[in-house]
Amino acid sequence: MIKPVLLWTDMLIFVLVAVVIVFIFYARHHEHLRAPWRQVFRSRIGVASLLVLSVYVLIALLDSVHFRLPLATQSVGQQSQQNQQQEYYSVEVLSLLDIALLPLREQGEKTYSAPLATELFARETVELADGGRQRFYPRLEYGGAHLKNPAAERNTDLLKRSAVAIVMGLLIWLVLMTPLLWMLARRRELTLAAMLENILRRREAVPWFVVFMVSAMLLILIMLMVWLAPYYHLFGTDKVGQDVLYQALKSVRTALAIGTLTTLIMLPFAVLLGILAGYFRGWVDDVIQYLYTTLNSIPGVLLIAAAVLMLQVYIDTHPELFATDSERADMRLLFLCMILGITSWTGLCRLLRGETMKIREVEYIQAATAFGVRSSRIISRHILPNVMHIVLISVVLDFSGLVLAEAVLSYVGVGVDPSMHSWGNMINSARLEMAREPMVWWALVAAFVFMFVLVLAANLFSDVVRDAFDPRLRKG
């Protein structure tokens, strides 16, 4: 039996997914929430960036189901067999993503190799059978290992495999999109051809054309990876020969965890304190303002650095608390989210305070007060729903900044645990390889590309969400 492992961040991620699902169901039945989302889904940039983001989310979710595999049960002696049925588990915590990427994970080389290379990056001196020595580039153990004569065959093999991958991607695309098209056609009571024409001529409110194009692109990219990655190292290998693509994919979860969990953790404080300060004013306001001015006045990076350094001392002096390395790294990730939350809630808190001050003067609140409605009920029924758009906008806007911050913090040395896969750690270790001649550039490029696509999609999406939800910007 495998032993499921529920890390703290996994739990929070699942909580977040549950919250999102509940919110979707809630929003479906409330027109004032549906309307802005409808606007998001009718924006071309909105759906395109949402599709890209959903691929990242999928990877992160796959990477959030953790378990430990049992070690091969060896019958050491008859005594132990009788004694207990206790199983021993590997100390390595795996996730579903690890299983999906098994070839990438296992097929390590000796050291650096360039993207799509079939030979190691550096020459090695090998002793020949006749006693002489020769320096040459040794073949990779896995990358292009199926080729007999790599120099001649590699490019045609790559082309062939890419062509197959593109065809496969398009096939899967057709398989996925035809039912969608059919469903759409049924709902509109049109024939398939008429529906297709509607989409191609962009007559639909929802930009289905963009949906089809972007998903085709994404599927082709995914299929290229699926078909090429087991045979080549698409992004090369790093110093210890680990596949860079594998590292980049594993880093997705870290980035998304930091981008989302930080806000999840800080949100209750920011919302509660902000509304309380704005609603009660007086000394409550003074105390809360004092609290956030104090926290805000400490330079963010320094507060994070101090807190993370302290946590590291604590972890190092209490090794007995953590069963595996991943649990330890996970603790540090969670703590990093918390401390990032502490440094970043003040902006939202201040916004909510100001907005609450405005709302509490509105007639319907005064009417509620006159009817003798309790403050707690006024806040939950009347004020909270009316500031939710601010919360949503700031959550979405913060996301990309947090993803970028992770890389910087890892560079400073106060980011996630060095053993955890993250783009920041990849950049940090690749930085030293810049000085090599010729340069080892692929780990750096891979980390930047993955990060760039995620942040760009998040930025575009957050713009669309802001335009849809900000009442000042809403048209008509």
Does 386 engage in binding with another protein (CB under 8 A)? no
d(CA 236, CA 440): 10
318, 319, 322, 324: CA torsion to nearest 10: 170
C-alpha distances in Å from residue 414, one per residue of 208, 306, 330, 410: 44, 9, 14, 6
Pairing of strands 3-5, 66-70: antiparallel
256, 258, 260, 262: CA torsion to nearest 10: 180
Tokens of 439: 């340069």
- Interface residue with another protein among 4, 70, 103, 299 (CB under 8 A) is 299
* Long-range pairs, 240-246, Cβ under 8 A, ≥24: 240/108, 240/111, 241/108, 241/109, 241/110, 241/111, 241/112, 241/113, 242/108, 243/104, 243/105, 243/107, 243/108, 244/115, 244/426, 244/442, 244/443, 244/446, 245/104, 245/446, 246/101, 246/104, 246/105
405, 406, 407, 408: CA torsion to nearest 10: 50
Does 49 engage in binding with another protein (CB under 8 A)? no
| Closest CA relative to residue 260, chosen from 400, 424, 85 | 400
Does 294 engage in binding with another protein (CB under 8 A)? yes
> Residue 236 CB, nearest distance to another protein (Å)?
17
> Residue 191 CB, nearest distance to another protein (Å)?
37
Number of shown-chain residues binding another protein (CB under 8 A): 41
Stretch near another protein under the rule CB under 8 A, chosen from 187-195, 199-207, 260-268, 300-308: 300-308
Site residues (CB under 8 A) for another protein, limited to 352-381: none
Measured from the CB atom, the residue of 64 and 346 that comes closer to another protein is: 346
> Residue 165 CB, nearest distance to another protein (Å)?
27
Measured from the CB atom, the residue of 260 and 428 that comes closer to another protein is: 428
- Interface residue with another protein among 127, 316, 320, 363 (CB under 8 A) is 316
Does 163 engage in binding with another protein (CB under 8 A)? no
CA 325 to mean position of chain CA atoms: 21
Does 321 engage in binding with another protein (CB under 8 A)? no
Measured from the CB atom, the residue of 228 and 454 that comes closer to another protein is: 454
Measured from the CB atom, the residue of 96 and 305 that comes closer to another protein is: 305
Does 309 engage in binding with another protein (CB under 8 A)? yes
Stretch near another protein under the rule CB under 8 A, chosen from 74-82, 227-235, 358-366, 411-419: 411-419
> Residue 297 CB, nearest distance to another protein (Å)?
4
d(CA 162, CA 76): 49
| Closest CA relative to residue 210, chosen from 255, 238, 177 | 177
Site residues (CB under 8 A) for another protein, limited to 431-460: 431, 434, 439, 444, 448, 451-452, 455-456, 459-460
Stretch near another protein under the rule CB under 8 A, chosen from 20-28, 138-146, 351-359, 407-415: 407-415
**H/E stretch holding 451:** helix 442-469
Does 317 engage in binding with another protein (CB under 8 A)? yes
> Residue 279 CB, nearest distance to another protein (Å)?
23
- The answer to whether residues 412 and 302 touch, using CB atoms and an 8 Å cutoff, is no
- Interface residue with another protein among 404, 416, 443, 446 (CB under 8 A) is 404
Does 305 engage in binding with another protein (CB under 8 A)? yes
> Residue 96 CB, nearest distance to another protein (Å)?
28
d(CA 229, CA 104): 7
Does 290 engage in binding with another protein (CB under 8 A)? yes
- Residue 340 CB contacts under 8 Å (≥ 6 apart), including other chains: 258, 262, 304, 402, 405
Measured from the CB atom, the residue of 213 and 434 that comes closer to another protein is: 434
Does 155 engage in binding with another protein (CB under 8 A)? no
Residues in contact with another protein by the rule CB under 8 A? 290, 293-299, 301-303, 305-307, 309-310, 313-314, 316-317, 400, 404, 407-408, 411-414, 427, 431, 434, 439, 444, 448, 451-452, 455-456, 459-460, 463
